[in-house]
A and B are shown apart, each in its own frame.
Chain A
């Protein structure tokens, strides 16, 4: 999809400017936006649409996908440059790689609040799609977000409160004894508006997979085996409250979940009693104040707790760790002639409690200054920002500059270049994990990224092409450490370059199609001769995601195809996973508009492809889900 399914490049630029400047009085406004947009007030300063105005941003609008049986990770498969790594099964771990960067170099935010400890990857299966309105994905260096977003930034935007009473819910039942429920209500509450959503998931996860016990014998038969200890059980809640006080809008969020799951292990050597239990909670308070002189002040305060307990004999009993963070961020944007100045200050701290009692902690301090200048009546905007962060013992500098230009024939061009980094995680630095040693001498990883996007936007179709190149430096990699351990070191460098294409066509009201394609070239630029100039593992060269939806609400059909080419599984290019194509088909009907009742049926992996993302962890075979959705709106349109 181009920009979001509903955002054009022009819109992105416009929104960015509007958001940053609180609707300028003294400059010539840009041409009006020709497609629906999130209200400017809904774009927080953390949104890449406002913070990174000249970088490619994909937005997935989930409000029209409520009846699809997917988690947040599955929705992200349509984003160019995105590679999901899935260990297999509903509620099982899924991580996201963007533009070839490792999952721990993709910053994942929930309404601007980082969801992981510094330098760690986010398990996106832990975020139910029912809690989200949209997903904003910045592709490329998230320099203006501080450390962590070398490959990009994912901002998960939660459902917002409604003005009028709105009651909604979905129930889904499907293969592998999977049940998902969510129910919520939203509306006026006291002086503001509130929302409460409850969600739950249960999946036995015991799918059958084809197992070849003697894979080195050509043509050896495979047998069907059940995937045991692969169940997941979770429940959680999202609460939001929004309150307008004069020129200030206050927004409070509370989100949390309890999760349990089995850890099945690799198929040849499963772990029958390994379990993971997590408890997660996020609290945030935000204010946005618009001043008459054109300035906007946004404040964000947050706290986050994430407790993980691993149990079972493979963990020598029970392993517990508790990660926590607090933070405060202030963003001020001010118009000054044709300049839109912005400044950001953030501070906070991160803690980790773990069994070996190293219990690392550090403080964070970040500052950003930026400017955006309009030329030629706003047809050209040039922006630059520099950010400095102190995170524990590390100081990282993250500059970025870009420009957006409106061209004739409904074309637009965006270019950007910047530097981003990832600080080593607490685990990499300080914590012994089984046979994985820490290394307190690690340095932050660094990425230099440049990209250019050309977009064509017409009423019925839109297409965008992006070329990008990133140089990653000081990548951290675990290496053998005698006599029987592994230890992380900074030594690798890599080139990641490629092209991303997004297209969407909407020729008639009942037909909508979108496609994204990514060509990804990776090359190890600094390593010993065994690995030097080889491709990075688990980065397929070609990836295509296509979606066609046809019909009217009474009868709608949908087809989705995700193809990816073969990919290497090791650094020496001797082991590879074959290419694959996963097809999803869905039909739905919405016979009533008020209340809106939706019945949807969906079949995933229609072709019953036997495949895997992680060696030894099969993905589920063909699966079917039936979803019933309802929504009652006190003020129907």
Chain B
């Protein structure tokens, strides 16, 4: 008996590991996880704050863009009276520094005196809207208000992160819900559609960064996209097969959460069901009609989709389906032996027409079996036109958006896995640019260059457009590639080898440009 007891006791190993587990790329800190690469309050580790005029990049504090390091401090030589125009160049007592010169007073109309500095509080990130009002990392100061240019949704970690479209500096990862899938903005409020929680969360931003608001709305199963028009939000619930319409000022279905600033009362006014196995995925609004892609189910249930539903929403409380555009008759230019179906994934309004992205996948294996295509629909006549992208250089297209008068389309490609099911390559992946006449203008490939050394494989997904700049999210890793668009085509700002690490280790589900 004694021997048995001793043997048994010995087999109980040490205490069970318990506690918060932080996803790859974040570290435990207090009761939560911090982003040591980007959080200037915890830069490189828990509690390691950056100093004034510094930001956190790759875990190290450095001088913000527009500042200069002088004796270990980051200063704005344009306006710092102790370093006016250069390190150590101090203005005499009573003088101010304006535009790198010592003056007796601020003379430029857009500046105001903050101490001995002349500052444009309309645009200065360290004095935004008033002296000493500093913006958070990654924010710009626009019209005296701190704001991010772009917000990214990190699905796998349940976080949002803001960034600057110009400097590409980033804010702090901020928990909003559990699995943000789609982003939109209503007024000053960011809407985050959550795939795991089945909620439409809200986030606000201030000079401290992003924060989840105390209001949310219940949505249907497997929500995939939210779009906003004025004070109305349209949520596409893929699993539930519905288009859900919510309006500000309506209480139905509004949830109050603990903590956070009060948000919008965004309640459900109606819901329209498209039928079983339709799997609506995306929507765009033209006039009073919302066009919704019906993707269809797996196998034989694919036939329930392959259409674009037209929903009249002039009375949001009573949406009415007024027709469907059948895509099944399109020539999908199947590859040899392929049998894809015309599944419309995302949809966008561009130059007055509606463009639906066709993945061209096999209905059961989900493998690309034809080139990525677009279906162009005339909103008034529903006339259907097929638009080619880039042949086999664009497989499994995902997302489309206007860039000026041009149309950009991302292509996830055909992934190849190794024996451990890691993606080792993706052919036909990148971004395609069509000109105003829907003709191919340029293709950017996300394939790793042959001489790149270690280079993580990218599978492009959703993207956003800021001016003439495309910020393209990666579904395979949490990075963003940045491309500039011009009449000449696409030029890399940050390519696949130096992409902006944004979401901790996992995919960027969506990107939103803030107004």
Contacts and interface: CB of A to CB of B under 8 A. Distances in A.
B298 A313 contact: yes
B186 interface: no
B1 A575 contact: no
Contact of A216 (B32, B218, B298): B218
B430 to A, nearest CB: 15
A519 interface: no
Nearest to B267: A218
A316 B364 contact: yes
Contacts of A371: 1, 4
Contact of A483 (B23, B244, B268, B507): B507
Interface in B464-515: 475-477, 506-507
Interface in A187-224: 213-218, 220
B299 A314 contact: yes
A570 interface: yes
Contact of A397 (B11, B242, B253, B271): B11
A521 interface: no
Interface in A542-579: 570, 572, 574-575
In this complex, the member of A385, A432, A528 whose beta carbon has the largest number of chain B beta carbons within 10 angstroms is A528
B276 A270 contact: yes
A26 interface: no
Nearest to B272: A214
A574 B301 CA distance: 30
A314 B21 contact: no
A269 B7 contact: no
A528 B33 contact: yes
Contact of A482 (B196, B276, B507): B507
Interface in A269-287: 269-273
A557 to B, nearest CB: 42
Interface string B14-54: 00111111110000000111000000000000000000000
Given A215-B220, A314-B299, A268 B155 contact: no
B100 interface: no
Contacts of A438: 421
B111 interface: no
A271 B300 CA distance: 9
Contacts of B298: 271, 313-314
B138 interface: no
A474 to B, nearest CB: 9
A289 B420 CA distance: 50
A370 interface: yes
Contact of A528 (B18, B20, B276, B364): B20
B437 interface: no
Contacts of B17: 473, 493, 526
A400 B8 contact: yes
B20 A532 contact: yes
Given A214-B242, A487-B421, A526-B21, A369 B4 contact: yes
B91 interface: no
A529 B16 contact: no
B273 interface: yes
Interface string B265-277: 0001011110011
A573 to B, nearest CB: 9
B16 A525 contact: yes
B340 interface: no
A465 B35 CA distance: 48
Contacts of B383: none
Contacts of A317: 364
A478 to B, nearest CB: 13
Interface string A432-463: 10000110000000001000000000000000
Given A215-B220, A386-B7, A572-B178, A316 B475 contact: no
Interface string A377-413: 0000010111000000000011111000000000000
B175 interface: yes
A529 B33 contact: yes
Contacts of B301: 269-272, 313-314
Interface bin, chain A: 35 or more
B277 A385 contact: no
Given A214-B272, A386-B7, A482-B475, A493 B16 contact: yes
A530 B12 contact: no
A437 B421 contact: yes
Contacts of A483: 412, 415, 423, 459, 461, 475-476, 507
A421 to B, nearest CB: 11
B412 A386 contact: no
A218 B412 contact: no
B8 A384 contact: yes
B22 A385 contact: no
B239 A268 contact: yes
Contacts of A268: 221, 239-241, 276
B199 interface: yes
B452 interface: no
In this complex, the member of B8, B242, B298 whose beta carbon has the largest number of chain A beta carbons within 10 angstroms is B8
A31 interface: no
Contact of B196 (A216, A527, A570, A615): A570
A484 interface: yes
A269 B421 contact: no
A481 interface: yes
Contacts of A273: 299-300
A369 B3 CA distance: 10
In this complex, the member of B4, B21, B364, B459 whose beta carbon has the largest number of chain A beta carbons within 10 angstroms is B4
Interface in B282-311: 297-301
B198 interface: yes
B334 interface: no
A242 B287 CA distance: 81
A385 B12 CA distance: 13
A313 B18 contact: no
A491 interface: yes
Contacts of B7: 386, 399
A405 B5 CA distance: 19
Contact of B4 (A312, A386, A615): A386
Contact of A572 (B33, B156, B196): B196
In this complex, the member of A215, A317, A382, A437 whose beta carbon has the largest number of chain B beta carbons within 10 angstroms is A215
B271 A481 contact: no
A397 B398 CA distance: 50
Given A386-B4, A432-B421, A493 B18 contact: yes
Given A527-B21, A528-B33, A485 B268 contact: no
B321 interface: no
B172 interface: no
Please give me the 3 A-B residue pairs with the lowest Cβ-Cβ distance, nearest first: A313-B299, A399-B8, A214-B271
Given A313-B363, A386-B4, A483-B507, 12 more contacts: A220-B271, A271-B297, A271-B299, A315-B364, A386-B7, A386-B11, A401-B8, A418-B8, A525-B19, A529-B22, A529-B31, A532-B19
Interface of A: 213-218, 220, 266-273, 312-317, 339, 369-371, 373, 382, 384-386, 397-401, 418-419, 432, 437-438, 448, 471, 473, 480-485, 487, 491, 493, 525-530, 532, 570, 572, 574-575, 615-616
Interface of B: 1, 4-5, 7-9, 11-12, 16-23, 31-33, 155-158, 175, 178, 196-199, 218-221, 237, 239-242, 244, 252-253, 268, 270-273, 276-277, 279, 297-301, 363-365, 412, 415, 421, 423, 459, 461, 475-477, 506-507
9 contacts: A268-B221, A268-B276, A272-B301, A314-B299, A373-B1, A384-B5, A532-B19, A570-B197, A574-B199
